[in-house]
Structure 1
Amino acid sequence: MNQLQEFREKNGIIIAAHRGTNGGNILQNTSKAYYNAIRHKADMFEVDVVRSQDGDFFAFHDGQEPLVFNDNFDIRTLNAKEITSKTCFNSVHEPINQKIETIEQILDTFEGQVFINIDRSWFYWDTFLDKLKGYKSLEQILLKSPVERHLLEKLRDSGLDVMYMPIVKTMEELDLVLNFKGLNIVAIELIFETLDTDLVSPKTIQLLKNKGLLIWGNALTLSDTIVLSAGLDDDSAIENDGQSWGRLVKLGFDIIQTDWPYLLYSYLTANNLKNN
């Protein structure tokens, strides 16, 4: 049993904070957002990855440039110096002194403290996997990617010993990862638009449980049109006293990613689904 599974056994449902907990004067994907998430009872936070033109890795979700920098450009076309010189803007579009941070800065800051889910790094696995090998606390990292055979092979062949979670959207993808050898698969992220899909059927959920795999669900609400968990999301939970979170738990999900970790924590503890 790995550390993440042990944590689940001991502490109940695992709370993952989407890009940390941001808002007000706190920027997403920054140390302040991650500290904030921990103080809001998150057990894990998500870190997005981009690579600069000169090969440095930053905690940022490309596409968010207009929101964070109040400017329309592609951060991946800039070098590291240009990225760190950019003025950032808070949630009410006021310029602030905070800057985008490197992945190395984030990992060093939170070494040994909390589980870290690394997202969107697979675009850069030609250099990122070797970079990650130098991190001292790999046991706290949960790496993820879509289910594409070339990605699975690249991670396997890299020799990187890290917990891995594939992002599964179809039964065919699930079959591929369950039969793929040489990876430390500890969890499965399920993306599903409806509840009548085989992906979240009792049979499939029990299959994953029998294999000792944790199941990750996304309660975060990205937009009114993007569906990650058949409408069992944060918006619905806020409107209906957490019932959608409860339905995810009843379906068998072990990890819930949210933008509102303390609200989720309060719901889980009130319903004896999480230890204080």
Structure 2
Amino acid sequence: MTFDIVGQPAYAEINHRFLAAVSRRSPLVAVHRGQNSGSIVENTAKALKAAAVSGADIVEIDVIESTDGDYFIFHNGYEGAYFGLDRDILTLRTAELEELQYEVYVSGKAEKYGLEKLETVLKQFPDMILNIDRSWDYWDHLLPFLDRFDCADRVLLKSPVSEAWLSVLSSHKVKYPFMPIARTAEEIELTLGWPELNTVAVEIVVDDAGSELATNEFVQRMHARNLLVQANALNLPNRVPLFLGWDDEVSVLDNPDRGWGKLVDHGVDIIQTDWPMLLNQYLSTRK
């Protein structure tokens, strides 16, 4: 699919990076939480750098807010696994968050390795498209914070479809690119009913082959509306398929034609993965 514009014409200047990226190649590779392996922890600056080296076009990160209003990169719910913490990380102050260390990754005289501030990666990666996930509860405060970094052309916000969150984003002066997480066509139509949203893409979650979202025709309809389509190849720990089982696990352990290949044939514009280097190697064989 060749795009002349991504999203609405009124927001073309903001969306220029997305148009440039998808004009260079398709599908784009979005890396889930950065590339973590060995001593590199997900959702850190090192993971973002590793993702870039691995051929990422977009890097997804998770954002949390301290109780006193600072932003860090972390996926809450993993407190026990990473820190041995039996508290909800969202109940901690900035000073408490700054004390946390990924202790399993450091020992002896090794440099400390703690939570990354969102500010750090916004400054350190000025040319990287960042897909900010799990931040919707903070948009009232987070959006004005993002405004300080002049980053609207390189930040892609996403959320499940909720009128409360759409309203906050729609009313904000700076029109950050947005991607709803949708399981039904009705959710997408609800989102597109907000013309002041800068919707540039849709992330579709499909667990039923009979779903309207599982058809090539649906992808083509999104393209006709200048929207990119993202599908998840990644496998979350609960192992629930996010797109008909066309995922990283089957691609790496069995045959990429049965996973990534099906997503390519489906016509999606962005594949989110935990295996960017292998996915890029596979995509190079499809040319």
TM-score (norm 1): 0.93
Q: 1:24 to 1:90 in 2, by over 3 A?
A: farther
For 1:181 and 1:270, locate their aligned partners in 2 and report how far apart those are by CA, in whole Å.
40
Which secondary structure state, in structure 2, belongs to the residue aligned with residue 139 of structure 1? coil
Tell which deviates more after alignment, 32-41 or 153-162. 153-162
The structure 2 residue matched to 1:246, chosen from 232, 238, 261, is 261
Corresponding position of 1:106: 121
> Which of 211, 219, 236 in structure 1 is aligned with 2:225?
211
Q: Calculate the aligned-residue CA RMSD, in Å.
A: 1.6
SS in 2 for 1:230: coil
2:282 aligned with 1:267: yes
Q: How does 1:52-201 map to 2 (within 5 A)?
A: 52-90=66-104, 97-111=112-126, 113-201=127-215
Q: Structure 1 residues 242 and 164, CA, compared in 2 at 3 Å: closer, same or farther?
A: same
> Are the counterparts in 1 of residues 63 and 135 from structure 2 also a CA contact under 8 Å?
yes
Amino acid aligned to 1:230: L
Query: TM-score, normalized by length of structure 2?
Result: 0.90
- Alignment-derived partner of residue 44 in structure 2: 30
The aligned residue for residue 8 of structure 2 is: none
Change in 2 beyond 3 A, CA 1:23/1:67: farther
Match of 1:237 among 251, 261, 270: 251
**Secondary structure, counterpart of 2:199 in structure 1:** coil
User: For residues 203 and 132 of structure 1, what CA distance do their matches in structure 2 show?
Assistant: 36
Contact 2:21 2:57 in 1 (8 A): no
Q: How many residues align?
A: 270
The answer on whether the counterparts of 2:208 and 2:214 sit within 8 Å (CA) in structure 1 is no
Percent identity reads: 36
Q: Give secondary structure in 2 for the equivalent of 1:138.
A: coil
**Distance apart, 1:195 and its partner CA:** 2.3
Q: Using the alignment, how far apart are the partners of 1:57 and 1:41 within structure 2?
A: 27
- Once the two structures are superposed, residues 227-253 of structure 1 have per-residue CA deviations (whole angstroms, 9 ceiling, x without a partner) of 211111100111233121010111111
Aligned equivalent of 1:50: 64
**For the residues of structure 2 that align with 1:258 and 1:183, how far apart are their CA atoms?**
26
Quick one: distance in 2 between partners of 1:5 and 1:75? Answer: 37
User: How far off is 1:224 after superposition?
Assistant: 4.7
Q: Residue 179 of structure 1: CA displacement?
A: 2.4
Hey, what's the Cα distance between the residues in 2 that align with 1:240 and 1:18? 21
Kept in 1, the 8 Å contact 2:101–2:115? The answer is no
- What is the one-letter code of the residue matched to 1:235? E
Distance 1:225 1:269 in 2: 27
Q: Which amino acid aligns with 1:268?
A: L
Deviation at 1:11, TM superposition (A): 2.2
